[in-house]
Amino acid sequence: MAQTKMKKAVLYNENIKTVLEILSENPEGISGQAISEKLKVSRSAISKMVKNLEKLGYKFEVSKKKYKLIERPDIPFPWEIGEGGKDIIFFKEVDNTQEKAKELALKGKISPGTWVIAERQRSGKGRMGRRWESPEGNFYGSVFLKPDLPLKETVKISLIGGLAVWRTIKSYEITKSVKIKWPNDIFVISENSAKKLAGVLAESFGESEKIEFTICGIGVNINNSPLEIAICLKELVGEKYNLLTDFTRRFINTFKQTYEEFLKGKWLELKTEIEINMWRGKVKVMQGEKEFTGVCVGINPDGSMVLQRQDGGYENIFYGDTTIITSIPKSE
């Protein structure tokens, strides 16, 4: 991945990854000398690395010249993510990862497939100009892509992002009903409520009809549900060690695999998987002042939604704000 130096960015670092691995393999502690020999770097380089890790929230016990790793923070630093970490640029705080990724892409500082991930966002962006609440503890990431698609088919990227989130959530073997809502959300549905777990914001840029590049932003509630109508992964899986880091590790690799399937021409198979796992119930779609109510029955090959109206006719929905209609009692 083409990455140049960036202010305040935390990048993948093979030495840090190895030091942490060595420390985990030696829960009773290991001397700085032994680590430096394994890594073939000086002891002072090890001591500097440990100090930097302490600043990032890692906790060590240092005694008799031995280093013992006591605690890893639940922060998805690139070296915690495995192979996929090489594609991550991490920031503690940004306005939002969408704008940061766009800025870096336009300056040629990142290559396609690169993720910008932040621990928190000052002004997270949702769809339709809404705000995306972004406290610490949840996943906020935007990936820079160059899909070979017409601009109006950006919805396919949104759906692929949603499918990758859905596949990742399902890997936790959740018993509740988790559904993709066309075109961009993941909801947890029960008999009388629909709670939002994740949202996707795919923004494409290009001068002609063709996409020049897309920034696909994904927000997933992991430890916090910032709004009444939201739910977080922790509520579904219970207490789990370093859940945000664990989710990020699974998700980055799942997204890569899902997007590669798309690049290999498997859109129709992916579309079928989305259709099987999407909310196929009653929805209301707002297109400005225009309102459509009906049942979402599927997705067209171009990514648009097939809506069956109350009169039995069909409508193809290319854009809009979709709300799930469940039998929610008025008091909720």
Contact residues: ligand BTN, CB under 6 A: 96-98, 121, 124-127, 130, 132, 140-142, 184-185, 199-201, 217-219
- Nearer Cβ to ligand BTN (127/179): 127
- Nearer Cβ to ligand BTN (36/254): 254
Torsion angles phi and psi, residue 221, rounded to 5: -75, 115
Instruction: Quote the least distance from Cβ 44 to ligand BTN, whole Å.
Output: 38
Q: Report the residue closest to ligand BTN, judged by CB.
A: 199
Cβ-Cβ contacts under 8 Å for 248 (sequence gap 6 or more): 76, 80, 81, 117, 139, 141
Q: Report how far residue 84's alpha carbon sits from residue 139's, in angstroms, rounded to the nearest whole number.
A: 15
- Provide DSSP, 96-132: -HHHHHHHHHHTT-S-TT-EEEEEEESSEE-GGG-EE
Instruction: Quote the least distance from Cβ 292 to ligand BTN, whole Å.
Output: 19
User: Would you say 88 and 144 are in contact if contact means Cβ atoms under 8 Å apart?
Assistant: no
Instruction: Quote the least distance from Cβ 138 to ligand BTN, whole Å.
Output: 8
C-alpha distance from residue 2 to each of 65, 89, 109, 201, 236 (Å): 38, 11, 7, 24, 37
Q: Report how far residue 244's alpha carbon sits from residue 207's, in angstroms, rounded to the nearest whole number.
A: 37
Q: Report how far residue 26's alpha carbon sits from residue 12's, in angstroms, rounded to the nearest whole number.
A: 23
Instruction: Quote the least distance from Cβ 140 to ligand BTN, whole Å.
Output: 4
β pairing state of 88-94 and 115-121:
parallel
- Nearer Cβ to ligand BTN (19/230): 230
- Nearer Cβ to ligand BTN (96/253): 96
Instruction: Quote the least distance from Cβ 131 to ligand BTN, whole Å.
Output: 9
- Nearer Cβ to ligand BTN (200/307): 200
Instruction: Quote the least distance from Cβ 134 to ligand BTN, whole Å.
Output: 7
User: Would you say 62 and 35 are in contact if contact means Cβ atoms under 8 Å apart?
Assistant: no
Q: Report how far residue 137's alpha carbon sits from residue 77's, in angstroms, rounded to the nearest whole number.
A: 13
- Nearer Cβ to ligand BTN (30/201): 201
Instruction: Quote the least distance from Cβ 293 to ligand BTN, whole Å.
Output: 21
- Nearer Cβ to ligand BTN (32/219): 219
Task: Classify residue 154 as left (phi > 0), alpha (psi -120 to 50) or beta.
Answer: alpha
Instruction: Quote the least distance from Cβ 283 to ligand BTN, whole Å.
Output: 15
Which residue from 104, 106, 88 is spatially nearest to 10, judged by alpha carbons? Answer: 88
Q: Would you tell me the crossing angle of helices 14-25 and 43-55 to the nearest 10 degrees?
A: 90
